[in-house]
């Protein structure tokens, strides 16, 4: 039986690098995997990720590799921090080296295009590992690297996954909370990106805090409505993965999804935005997945529909805004108000 002295992180983007930094700062041997050798060399030798976090110094001693078999051999606990669109391919490649004793934690906030599957579902399908979990919350990589107090939630049906992840992540400035509602945590983490695009569009149109508050509040109601219909615990949406992450991504210009919304409102096309952004904004593809899902379920999802119009149909922001504001009056619990 091989030993597993290190904690593995798949993905050397901004969040993967930040997770590696947190774990290594807590004194745990850390192995960061990626495909860009230049980035990995800089992380190991210069303690900086020049592409995604150039202004932040990383914890000393983060090891790096481009070999998936090395991660599987040296690490029992592995955090999967790659974009949703490539997660299945990466994990499928990794699966040849995994054993049932491995623990996998998805940190990717999105739903798979075509299947609408959550990332833990993909992990279970592509590997022999049963003990999987999801990590989500208001975690802007730059602020975590700066050492600002922050927190995350780790969700799993297996106590060992929550306990092990908490042990390596919990530190002086980074707290971890457990949750058993994997479904709710993953759905919240994915759907909040849709609302963040809407909030960015609002900012791009020059609207103020009243509009932002409207979007956050009704966006949360939309997220909860969809989540509960799919079987999630409604209380999850009041936690870190729900309203916590929603507040950050809707208000902060550091949020990639917020940036997408701003640019759409200012007349840029999605092709232009994709070409200029270094990292993936998961909300764009998630919007298409959730739009189709709510259509099939016959669930009202006015904000999702509006963002779909902006990002996937090239509609003008003012036209979309007019439709959203003209939605039939209702109570906050989604009952229509009868005409009198």
Burial of 301-314, coded b for 16+ CB within 10 Å and e otherwise, reads bbbbbbbbbbbeee
Which pLDDT value is given to residue 64? Answer: 98
Q: Where are the alpha helices (DSSP H) in 205-281?
A: 209-230, 245-251, 256-265, 270-276
What integer pLDDT is reported at residue 1 of this predicted model?
Answer: 37
Domain with CATH 1.10.1040.10 in the chain: 190-325
6-180: CATH topology: Rossmann fold (3.40.50)
The pLDDT score that the predictor gives to residue 149 is: 98
> What pLDDT, on a 0 to 100 scale, did the predictor assign at position 4?
63
pLDDT for the residue numbered 2: 46
Q: Residue 200 to residues 50, 77, 167, 184, 194: CA-CA distances in angstroms?
A: 27, 36, 35, 24, 10
Which mean pLDDT values do the consecutive 10-residue runs of the chain (340 residues) have? 77 97 98 97 97 97 98 98 97 98 97 97 98 97 97 98 98 97 98 96 95 96 96 97 96 93 94 86 94 96 96 91 86 65
Q: Evaluate whether 106 touches 123 at the Cβ level (below 8 Å).
A: yes
Residue 192 is a catalytic residue: yes
Given its phi and psi angles, is residue 116 left (phi above 0), alpha (psi -120 to 50 degrees) or beta?
left
Nearest alpha-carbon partner for 107 in 186, 38, 162: 186
Query: What pLDDT sits at residue 324?
Result: 87
- Catalytic residue (choose from 85, 109, 117, 192): 192
- CA 194, 199, 203, 207 torsion-angle sign: positive
pLDDT score at 277:
86
**Residue 209 pLDDT:** 95
Q: Indicate the CATH number for domain 190-325.
A: 1.10.1040.10
Every domain range in the chain assigned CATH 3.40.50.720: 6-180
**CA dihedral sign, ordered 84, 140, 137, 229:** negative
CA distances from 34 to 192, 264, 296 (A): 27, 31, 37
Report the predicted TM-score, pTM, of the whole model to 2 decimal places.
Answer: 0.94
């Amino acid at each position: 039986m091989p030993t597993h002295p290190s904690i593995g992180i798949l993905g050397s983007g901004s969040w993967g690098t930040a997770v590696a930094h947190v774990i290594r700062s807590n004194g745990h041997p850390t192995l960061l995997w990626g495909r860009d050798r230049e980035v990995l060399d800089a992380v190991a030798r210069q303690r900086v990720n020049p592409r995604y976090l150039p202004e932040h110094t990383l914890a000393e001693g983060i090891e790096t590799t481009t070999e998936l078999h090395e991660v599987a051999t040296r690490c029992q606990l592995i955090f999967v921090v790659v974009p949703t669109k490539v997660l299945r391919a990466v994990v499928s490649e990794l699966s040849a080296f995994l054993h049932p004793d491995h623990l996998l934690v998805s940190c990717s906030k999105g739903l798979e295009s075509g299947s609408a599957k959550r990332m833990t579902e993909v992990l279970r399908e592509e590997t022999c590992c049963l003990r999987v979990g999801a990590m989500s919350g208001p975690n802007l990589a730059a602020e975590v690297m700066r050492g600002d107090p922050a927190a995350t939630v780790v969700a799993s049906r297996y106590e060992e996954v929550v306990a092990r992840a908490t042990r390596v992540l919990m530190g002086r400035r980074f707290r971890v909370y457990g949750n058993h509602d994997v479904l709710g945590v993953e759905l919240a983490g994915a759907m909040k990106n849709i609302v963040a695009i809407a909030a960015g569009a609002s900012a791009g149109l020059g609207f103020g805090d009243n509009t932002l508050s409207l979007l956050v509040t009704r966006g949360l109601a939309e997220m909860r409505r969809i989540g509960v219909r799919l079987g999630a615990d409604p209380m999850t949406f009041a936690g870190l993965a729900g309203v916590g992450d929603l507040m950050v991504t809707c208000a902060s210009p550091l949020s990639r999804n917020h940036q997408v919304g701003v640019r759409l409102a200012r007349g840029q096309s999605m092709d232009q935005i994709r070409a200029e952004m270094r990292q993936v904004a998961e909300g764009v593809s998630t919007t298409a997945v959730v739009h189709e899902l709510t259509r099939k379920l016959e669930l009202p999802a006015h904000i999702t529909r509006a963002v779909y119009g902006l990002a996937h149909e090239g509609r003008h922001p003012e036209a979309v805004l007019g439709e959203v504001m003209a939605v039939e009056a209702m109570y906050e619990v989604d009952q229509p108000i009868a005409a009198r």
